[in-house]
Structure 1
Amino acid sequence: MNALKVIKKEEYTIVQMNRGKVNAINYAMVQELRQVFRDIENDSSVKGAILTGQPHYFSAGLDLIELFQYDKRQIKDFFRVFGALFIELMHITKPVISAITGHAPAGGCVLAVASDNRIMADGGQYIIGLNEVAVNIQISQNLIETYAFWIGGGLASRYIMEGKLLNAEEALSAGLVDELVPLEQVLPMAEARMQHYLKADQEILVNTKRKLRKNLLARLDMDAENSLKEAATLWWKPEIRTKMEAYVKSFTNKKKV
């Protein structure tokens, strides 16, 4: 694994995103996440998983600098596998907890909302949310449905249209995250929550998760390629490419300073 660090505990697995400073998501990282979570789902000795990041960054979202260089086939493949990852995470039968160790905008938030619990680092500097509209990326119906599942349809509609990023306190108030703790306590708190789950009868826990998600999953488009087809198409819209090129150049220049 190049983008992930997998830590196996007695009955659960910690999956730490470990790609550079900000855990920007590219094709290879998505495929690694898919494989690790498939392994977790298929391993009867593993009863749950914690997804986490590095100090100050859970994930900054899609690696737009790399993705901007993809050709049409590559970007289509990326959105297909990213859509598949989200669908697969939504269908995992075992409890999954996101230990959000800092910033989690856009793609970082996508990963987090697929989990059952979100424990986030406290602090006004950290942000989470879906700002796809603001960065000119088409959001999927699957993501809209899932965001609304956690924070309600009204808030989801307003926040998504605004491309709003929430600070930790706002995220807690909206119901997007369950608990705020100091940065150094995020992973220990997630592990404590996992220990609580492990005490339950596992068949009852799995059955309960399936029932809780039944109506939401019924609203999702299970065709991974179709779910992000618009995103892959609109990616090449000339005016969007122009804006994205300017963003990539400005971001690249900041990294050089």
Structure 2
Amino acid sequence: MCRAEEKDRPGVFSAGLDLMEMCGRSPAHCAEYWKAVQELWLRFYQSSLVVVAAINGACPAGGCLMALTSDHRVLADNPKYSIGLNETLLGIVAPFWFKDTLVNTIGHRAAERALQLGLLFPPAQALQVGIVDQVVPEEQVQSVALSAVAQWMAIPDHARQLTKAMMRKATASRLITHRDEDVQNFVSFVSRDSIQKSLQLYLERLKQKKG
């Protein structure tokens, strides 16, 4: 899911979707890739396990989406780190299940504004809007995340699992019901010449920054 060149890179929690899998690829390839993204989200979102995100770097787009599937999010207090669904800045529209996940977390109005503007929230703003649950010094992220896991696991597991499933069922079911349609919409959208040009320009800018 993540761009290969960003894996294990210091200062990056997850760079999100692998744009190389969308740029210059066949419709069939894009469809298979999107099915994999759907499956990854469903597995995390529907997991009965306690999932805590220790966010120790930048967390845009698909990275933010995966963090939002967790039960609790801890973000390092570093001004270089930000989190949000910034798809519109790339000329891309966040799918409905991206939107639903964000709305469930920060509310409709805040999500509407964030999605339209492609906002990436720095730590203080991320905490204020509720996209993360804690902001702590960078060296404490792992220990605080582990403490959060212990707090969640102290709850009787059966009751916690049933409650989590109840709260998330409608959102997950919506994607499951419209899964094929979502794939078709994605392929149709990403195959547009204008979108391909936007992706190419963005990838070129990334190469220039690294150069």
Assess same fold via TM > 0.5.
yes
Deviations 1:94-128 (A, max 9, x none): 21111111100001001011111111111221111
Question: Cα RMSD over matched residues?
Answer: 2.2
Q: Name stretches of at least 5 consecutive residues in structure 2 with no aligned partner.
A: none
Question: Which residue of structure 2 aligns with residue 132 of structure 1?
Answer: 87
Paired letter, 2:61: A
Alignment of 1:87-166 (within 5 A): 87-166=42-121
Select which of 164, 175, 186 maps to 1:221. Answer: 175
Aligned partner of residue 180 in structure 1, secondary structure:
strand
Q: Name stretches of at least 5 consecutive residues in structure 1 with no aligned partner.
A: 4-16, 24-52
Q: What's the offset of the Cα at 1:227?
A: 2.8
TM-score (norm 1): 0.75
Aligned partner of residue 87 in structure 2, secondary structure:
coil
Select which of 196, 202, 209 maps to 1:247. Answer: 202
1:64 aligns with 2:53: no
Moved >4 Å (runs of 4+): 17-20
Change (3 A) 1:163 1:78: same
Question: Which residue of structure 2 aligns with residue 9 of structure 1?
Answer: none
Q: What's the offset of the Cα at 1:211?
A: 2.8
Separation in structure 1 between the aligned mates of residue 143 and residue 64 of structure 2, nearest angstrom: 21
Change (3 A) 1:225 1:73: same
CA contact under 8 A between 1:101 and 1:186: conserved in structure 2? yes
CA contact under 8 A between 1:83 and 1:227: conserved in structure 2? no
Aligned partner of residue 99 in structure 1, secondary structure:
strand
Separation in structure 2 between the aligned mates of residue 19 and residue 191 of structure 1, nearest angstrom: 28
Q: Per residue, is there more helix in 1 or in 2?
A: 2
Aligned partner of residue 191 in structure 2, secondary structure:
coil
Change (3 A) 1:179 1:124: same
**How many residues of Structure 1 are paired with residues of Structure 2 in the alignment?**
210
TM-score (norm 2): 0.90
CA contact under 8 A between 2:4 and 2:18: conserved in structure 1? no
Q: Percent identity?
A: 28
